[in-house]
Amino acid sequence: MKLKSMRQRSKQSGQQGLSLIELLVSMAIALVIFAGVIEVMLDNKSKFLLSDQLSIIQENARFTVEEIGYDLRMAGYKGCSGSANVANALNGSTGSGLYNGFGVEGWDSSEGSAAFPAEFRGGLWTFNDANKTDPDAFTIKRAGGESNLSVTDHAAPSAVIDVAGSHGLGAGRIMVTATPDCSQVAIFQFTGNNPIQVGHNTGNSVSPGNCSGQLFGSYDCTAPPTNPPASNGKLPNGSQVMEFVANSFYIGQSSIDPTIPSLYKEEFNDAAGGTFTTSAVELVVGVENMQVLYGVDTDADGQANRYVTANAITGVAPLLWSGVVSARVSLLFRSLNNVWGSDTTFSFEGEDYTDRFGRQRVTTTIQLRNMGL
């Protein structure tokens, strides 16, 4: 009897376990909890990715507007006001081109890539989609650069300018001179390689070459002066000698990934071996489109009266590049990765972009403060 009683107590005090139904209910509850945790993690990851990509887009937008804005505000700077005479001694300085003066010059995608400068037309971004407009491009031309030399003597009619100090300019560099009273500006190609002098001889041993050694008057290479003016072409002491700067902005394929668009800045450098060279700098990754409208001053008050596309600048007054006094730049920034869970449509300049990328439009209007003066 005692043994039987002990067995009964042992059986009653032992673990009984779970039934099948209880086990299934417990597993179902655990799955619900785990599903909720996973959903929260995925949602947080998606929000983090979206926030991260939008942060990158906004930072890129700020940098781009600052970079383009600086160059546009400096467009047309030549050390003097717009009333100065301009003597352009460069071969090929007439019409549309890199050396045809100061200011801004743009190209519209509707003109076709052949209309864009050869220096960067091969790198242009295209959508390969008839429903989308390809990006525009523009070039800013001004004086400036790293060298700003002061004239100490100009032994005219000799094509040699003595300057204070020394410089490291190479033969072929395009230069600008401006007199102290801002009455005369000239564009020419540096033909010498003396660190204390600047030569401006005629000839084209290095492209494009000078059609004239004359730095006075108002002319380009279609009609160079045949006789020295009353000043005998002598630059007064204290005149400035600066570099000619030309920077082009366009959208091209990223060097990181050819499926990603980037904003490029094409910088024009010294001539080497008879050929003027350029270098492309990839400024910002993820700039997908750029459309530019140019503000034209039609009543000579220094303010834009109408905004037109680049292909509307006909070269006939008042639609002249020299009459452009402001620029309205619209940029489309794109995330580098997909941020939406499904296709989302974004409209830019009346065209739809439908995919999973995040996008942001930025528009800025910039006064070309050196134009229209």
Tokens of 52: 């991260």
Query: CA–CA separation, 195 vs 166, rounded Å?
Result: 5
- Strand 85-88 vs strand 184-189: parallel, antiparallel, or unpaired? parallel
Rg (CA), the chain: 33
Query: CA–CA separation, 97 vs 276, rounded Å?
Result: 14
Amino acid at 330: S
With residue 20 as reference, give the H or E element that holds it. helix 20-74
Q: What phi and psi values does residue 74 have, to the nearest 5 degrees?
A: -90, -10
Whole-number average pLDDT of the chain: 84
What's the pLDDT score for residue 353? 95
Amino acid at 247: N
68 three-state secondary structure: helix
Assess contact for 295 and 313: CB atoms under 8 A.
no
What's the pLDDT score for residue 5? 53
Assess contact for 88 and 186: CB atoms under 8 A.
yes
Neighbours of 111 (CB within 10 A): 14
| One pLDDT digit (tens) per residue for the chain, 373 residues | 555 555 555 555 555 666 777 777 778 887 888 777 777 666 656 665 667 788 889 899 999 999 999 999 999 998 876 678 888 888 877 665 677 788 999 999 888 888 888 888 889 999 988 889 999 999 999 998 777 899 999 977 778 899 998 888 877 888 999 999 988 999 998 887 688 888 888 876 677 888 888 888 888 887 766 665 655 678 999 999 999 988 999 999 999 999 999 999 998 766 555 556 778 999 999 999 999 999 999 888 888 999 999 999 988 888 889 899 999 999 999 998 888 888 999 999 999 999 999 899 999 999 998 886 6
- Which residue in this structure is represented by tokens 């006075």? 216
For CA atoms 260, 261, 267, 270, give the dihedral sign: positive
Each residue of 313-350: pLDDT tens digit?
988 888 889 899 999 999 999 998 888 888 999 999 99
What's the pLDDT score for residue 220? 84
DSSP at 323: G
Amino acid at 362: V
Assess contact for 174 and 189: CB atoms under 8 A.
yes
Q: How many residues does the chain have?
A: 373
What's the pLDDT score for residue 31? 83
Query: CA–CA separation, 310 vs 329, rounded Å?
Result: 12
Assess contact for 261 and 287: CB atoms under 8 A.
yes
With residue 107 as reference, give the H or E element that holds it. strand 103-107
222 three-state secondary structure: coil
Assess contact for 313 and 324: CB atoms under 8 A.
yes
Q: What phi and psi values does residue 271 have, to the nearest 5 degrees?
A: -75, 140
What's the pLDDT score for residue 173? 85
